[in-house]
Structure 1
Amino acid sequence: MRVPAEVLVATGVFGASVKEQLRHARGEYVLIVDGATAPGRWFEALWEQRLTAGLIIGTRADPDAREAGDGPVRRFALRMYRRLLSLPVLPDASVILARCAALGTLPEADDRFEWLLEAIVLAHSDGWPVRTLNGMSAGRPQTIRLQPAALWRLWVLRNSAFSADYDERAFNSVVPLQRYWQRTRHRIIHGWVDPETRILDVGCGSSRIVQDLPRAVGLDVQMKKLRRISPRTQKVVQATLTQLPFRCGAFETLICSQVIEHVPEPLVDWCEMNRVLSLGGIFVVGTPDYATVAWPALERVYGIVHPKGYVHEHINQYTAASLRHALESHGFEVITSAYVGRAELIIKARKVAPCANK
């Protein structure tokens, strides 16, 4: 039988103590406190907010007052770590209320501050909202210390291509080429679709493409990506390319951007995408063009600069000719095409016939 919440009291080595207790926790939520703290009325404030986030960071800090020991150096360090790791909240906690599901991957760190940073990174990267609740009268301020190797480990973890907000962050990247790439793709696709039609974005990830289309349905196999975009997307569905859970002709527009190169060729089900699109409907599909000079060169450089990125996930190498052939062989007529950086191909097609093989 699951209980609503359990209290985990960290004693000794913080990370090891919490990890051991989490393994045996039966509650849907856990309250993590240090050994000098006992739940009080402040817990009610945390509990009332439990449905708003996967991780709630309760801090003694008062926005209008300064705690003893909360000097300018400490505040600067907290802001620095937040910026370096692109955290959604300031990493300053005296107590933590967490859904057990949001701590599905347990932090490895033992140090209290490093454990907190890793818990925030893991929960946020898994698509769970993380928020702060100020004015807690419990717990004690944490000591801020982090070894360079630990910071590097957390930075790599935070910037993994498998983080729930990877696509969304790329749109606002500080790297000019990445920002240009994402925004050019966004501009082309949005220029080709009618936002008032019934739209399905297959393999939507956490991109701004689906989030900026108010009537679009986002479909992806990764729940963490869907969890991330669900507050800003009309409807999200977890499914695969081979089994789209919609009736025939349910959509007037279909988007499949940067997906088919990640899927084994037998599982790229063109007929299934044809099936859910109405006759005359628009299909926008994008993928790297491996027949260009630019894309293979960019891919090699990207693999060196960002070894945790998507490069090694590209298992289907399409060209303009092979993509056009795949579309025309499955009931689509190519209308026009465009490139991002002379490397990424985006095709706009129209469904002119049902797929003969379905």
Structure 2
Amino acid sequence: MEQMCYDYVKYNGLLHNERSENGDIRLKVTYRDIAREAGVSVGTVHRYLAKNDYISEDARQKVNQAIKKLGFNPNLAQRFQRRRKTHQLGLLTSFSKDIFNSRYHTHLLGGIMNAVYETDYNLKIIFLKERDYTNVTDILTEYSVDGLLILTWRIHPNLIRLIEMCPKHIPVMLFNDYDPKIEANFVYSDVSQGIEMAVDYLVKKGRKKIAFLKGPSLIHFGSGREAVHVSSIDAYDKLEGFQKGMRAAKLPIKEEWVKECGSYSMVEGYKKTKEVLESKERPDGIVCANDEIALGALNALREFKISCPDEMSVIGFDGIEKGELTTPPLTTVEQLLNSMGFEGGRKLIDILQGKLVDPIHTKFVPKLVIRKSA
């Protein structure tokens, strides 16, 4: 009976117990009790007890007062906490069906699962909630996971803030939207180089008048007075890649041929391609920020009775399956998502096992998939 009580306490994270006079284990104070008394998060209590500097002085005093008031024994709690490893990895993403439908999510997830399969770790999908966490540790604690894999970290302004202030020792692995100022671990595709490769390919095919359909510069959250707008790293990097490629080829960049799409969609690709085609001079090649935009571009070319690739070439980005079935089949730049997922999962486990210490920033170079559209 005593062992069963101990296991229950350990399993549920009830980290402070003591024996009564008859020898039974008696639950007394938990981290949640302290957090509730102090008016702070459970993660803040964890950081206080771990003597982590990543806590404000005000919060430190509140936790200290709560511990004294509740008669908590931190030494015993820390001894239990050191024993308690969940061997769970959290996969943090938005609450959306896209994680099961989109090539980006499924291929990354497939690689991650391959990395985890041969280990004693399990994978738990965590849907980001509409709540303000104080720091990433709060998420680790709430969901009882040892580390986090974040497929798209710029999906919510609060998550962006948490990642921007996340210390390098926290076991978090980010995928894409690489920002060298971020201290967390990264596995990312060099999308700038990918677009540059597309421009270089068109130049070698004899194209000299190249347009670019780029993604939206800002990501929008909320509406009205509560609306929040943050810059898109993906859109910026891809535009930079286009500019580099054009400069390397010593070709002019015409403003009327660089169009910003309102979304990464076929509809936007179709609309913006029509605008390009209605300009005084037409390009002979179009590079698109993703495949959906490129599919819209192909539709516009058909409507204007422009032969692809004879009169105008089109290149997409991502490598979605639909691109193989278009007329003509779409030339594209493919991200090595499965390999990236495997590398991110493996490296996060290495970090948790103490095999790696410094933040990991691993770059993957996309590959050009040549079909008939260019």
TM-score, normalised by the number of residues in structure 1: 0.31
TM-score, normalised by the number of residues in structure 2: 0.30
Q: Which has the higher helix share?
A: 2
Q: Compare CA radii of gyration and give the structure with the larger one.
A: 2
